[in-house]
A and B are shown apart, each in its own frame.
Chain A
Amino acid sequence: AQSVAQPEDQVNVAEGNPLTVKCTYSVSGNPYLFWYVQYPNRGLQFLLKYITGDNLVKGSYGFEAEFNKSQTSFHLKKPSALVSDSALYFCAVRTYNTDKLIFGTGTRLQVFP
């Protein structure tokens, strides 16, 4: 069965420091991986995706993610965090033979001034 794990419920980082939000996945077949962000009282917004090709994917708002097949991970990163990055982040996965998106439980990112 497909699954996604976000091992950290919350990540705290000081503004200006690099941030990493972790995601690991378990699928049969090639994974299609996504990151979404949810700001308070808003729906989910797409950040970036990995389908194939370059393992480093760049997305919106300066975020990037690195696909690591051997470690089955797709960690979200940003070189310099902003207070406005504080939000709930979701990793999601789907495979070629299904159109269903499986979400992780979410990681709350708190960036302190």
Chain B
Amino acid sequence: DADVTQTPRNRITKTGKRIMLECSQTKGHDRMYWYRQDPGLGLRLIYYSFDVKDINKGEISDGYSVSRQAQAKFSLSLESAIPNQTALYFCATSDISGKYNEQFFGPGTRLTVL
């Protein structure tokens, strides 16, 4: 969905490096999410944010941190990357009626940690 953008689209890094993945949205949604996708495991929630001051851990938050710089921006950081963080990362958004409405996904960032 062009309304949700992620940068970079691809990144190769080395173990121990700090990495930041960025997400921006023009949908005007309050809620933003970070997921990782691994083959055979589907999508798993890393962090989510209901507004700039409300950030919550998902099911696999260890090794990650996030920052909600503005309503439209939600960044995911890997403070010290490790190889098992190699995955496809997706940002998503939903409006304030999130439980009823679908989430809109960005195109994904493919991260490889060597």
Contacts and interface: CB of A to CB of B under 8 A. Distances in A.
Tell whether A pairs with B: yes
Interface of A: 9, 32, 34, 36, 41-46, 49, 51, 90, 94, 96, 98-101, 103-106
Interface string B17-59: 0000000000000010101000011111100101000000010
Given A104-B42, A105-B42, A106-B42, A45 B31 contact: no
Given A32-B99, A43-B4, A100-B58, A105 B48 contact: no
Contacts of A90: 42-43
Contacts of B58: 100
Contacts, number: 53
A43 B34 CA distance: 13
Interface of B: 1, 4, 31, 33, 35, 40-45, 48, 50, 58, 90, 92, 98-100, 102-108
A100 B43 contact: no
7 contacts: A41-B108, A42-B107, A98-B99, A99-B99, A100-B48, A103-B43, A104-B42
Contact of B103 (A9, A51, A101, A104): A101
Contacts of A51: 100
